[in-house]
Structure 1
Amino acid sequence: MTRVKFEIITAAWMVFLFLSCSSSGDETPPPSPPENLTPPAKTIGVVPENGEPCADYTEVDNDDSKVLIYFKWNAAQNAENYNLVILEGSNEVFSSTLNVLETEVQLNRGKTYSWFLNSINEDGETKGDTYSFTSPGTPVGNFAPYAAEITVTFNTQMSISWVGSDEDGDELTYDIVVKNDELILTQETDFSDTSINPLDFEPGAIYDVEVISKDPHGSASISKTTVTAPN
């Protein structure tokens, strides 16, 4: 009887080992690493020209308060679509995703607008620089400032400067934020200069720069750019 028990136990143990080995071969293999993603390049705007009164427009029939503004931009490498966003101050007044390189948008006369393009494909989205213009017509009140034109250069350090302007000739102040992956590197409020002290940078890192131009009447325009430091 003892031998029979031993043989039964031994057989059961061998079955357990067999099933364990078999089941290990049926496990789901680990997921494959993701393929290299290829997000689109940054889109460059062509018209309206940055920091200028708009010259490319069409009258709107039966509405003297509106005008059709012509927008055009260069094709971005690997881009499939483009999201055009137009702001008046900090308020978004138009947003549309397009698969062409030009369009017309109906806007109010006598206003200062800023605009940028996001280039899009299935692997991601890349935001372009901010541009600014003033639509034709007599403004009600004062013009908002143009969006600042930001310049970022890299040498031993990262240098950031900008050019701000205003159709009314108002004296401007600026709010500036520089970030690296949501980490704020420097921030200034009501700044009167048009450059900040140079910053250290990491090779290959991505930096976001935002400049808000403000006039004494409470009007403001936002300008943003994203740059990648050289390796």
Structure 2
Amino acid sequence: MKKFLNIKIRLLMFSALIFLVSCEEEMASEEPVEPPIQNETPPAKAVGTLPVNGEPCSDYEEVSGDDSKVSVLFNWNSAQFADSYVLNVLEGSSQVFTGSFTTLNANVELDRGKTFSWSVTSVNEDGQTNGDSNSFTTPGTPIGNFAPYTAEIVVTFDEGTSEMTVTWVGSDEDGDELTFDVEVFEEGQSVFDSVDLTSTSIGPIGYMLDTDYTVEVISRDGFGNFSVARLEVTSPD
């Protein structure tokens, strides 16, 4: 009888041990598993090629039944990782056209005899990247005065001094004298702002390594017309 009791006790202890081990394994299996880290890959910048920046538009078609408009062809280069592209066309600060495309070109009907600026934003599921501003003038006699072309901006980084210099070229179809409002943004925060400049350069301005900068140049003539140019760059790391 005593032997039978010892065997029974041992069986109970063994069963309890199995139960504890299985509970511990179940609890361990229920511990939350961290999801794998997903690396986001925003698209590269799209570069506009047509209409040519700072020139009268030469690639257009007449609009049947409307002598006040022309159909302008826009082209841009393919951007790595981009799924689609958003074309924006402005007259001054007013948007006159926006559209999303999966192709690398589009035709847009615009008024004759006006200066327009345009840019292409590349898009994918991880984000979007803004392209640089370009400008052109549509054929025809202007009502009043042409707006200036968007300035062509160049940013130079001096890695020895960690300073950058911004230069630009402004032009106008009428040959008007221009003044410039210039603002520099560091990761979206303004670090330089000046208005009514007659010179075409600023700096040096200190910069941080591997940081995104946006330069905005507003070109103005003496008739109240203006254009807005933006350039986005990343400093060396």
With structure 1 as the length reference, what TM-score do the two structures score? Answer: 0.87
Q: Percent identity?
A: 50
User: Where in structure 2 are the equivalents of 1:133-212 lying within 5 Å?
Assistant: 133-156=136-159, 157-212=163-218
Task: Tell me how far apart the structure 2 counterparts of residues 149 and 91 of structure 1 sit (CA, whole Å).
Answer: 20
Q: 2:120 aligns with which of 101, 108, 117?
A: 117
Q: CA deviation at 1:203?
A: 1.5
Q: Secondary structure at the match of 2:90?
A: strand
CA distance in 1, matches of 2:188, 2:64: 46
Letter in 2 for 1:191: L
TM-score scaled by length of structure 2: 0.85
Cα-to-partner distance string for 1:160-187 (whole Å, 9 max, x where unaligned) = 1111111111111111110111221110
**1:78 aligned residue:** 81
CA displacement 1:71-112 (0-9 Å, x = unmatched): 111111111101000000010000001000111100000000
Supply the distance in 1 between the matched residues of 2:150 and 2:97 (Cα, whole angstroms): 17
What is the count of residue pairs matched by the alignment?
A: 214
Query: Deviations for 1:4-51, whole angstroms, at most 9, x for unmatched residues?
Result: xxxxxxxxxxxxxxx999778645444543x11111111111110000
Partner of 1:46: 49
| 1:93-149: CA deviation from partner (whole Å, max 9, x where unpaired) | 000010001111000000000000001111110001100000000000000111111
- Residue 158 (structure 1) shift: 1.2
Instruction: Quote the Cα distance in structure 1 between the aligned partners of 2:76 and 2:212.
Output: 24
Q: Distance in 1 between matches of 2:231 and 2:127?
A: 17
Larger deviation, residues 21-30 vs 118-127 = 21-30
The list of structure 1 runs, each at least 4 consecutive aligned residues, that deviate by more than 2 angstroms after superposition, is 19-33
1:11 aligns with: none
Cα distance between partner residues in 1 of 2:36 and 2:197: 50
Letter of the 2:233 partner, please give it: V
RMSD value, Cα: 1.8
Amino acid at match of 1:102: N
Q: Which runs of 5+ in 2 are unaligned?
A: 1-22
1:175 & 1:92 partners in 2: Cα distance? 20
Q: In structure 1, the residue corresponding to 2:180 is in which secondary structure?
A: strand
Q: Which residue of 1 aligns with 2:231?
A: 225
Distance in 1 of aligned mates of 2:123 and 2:29: 42
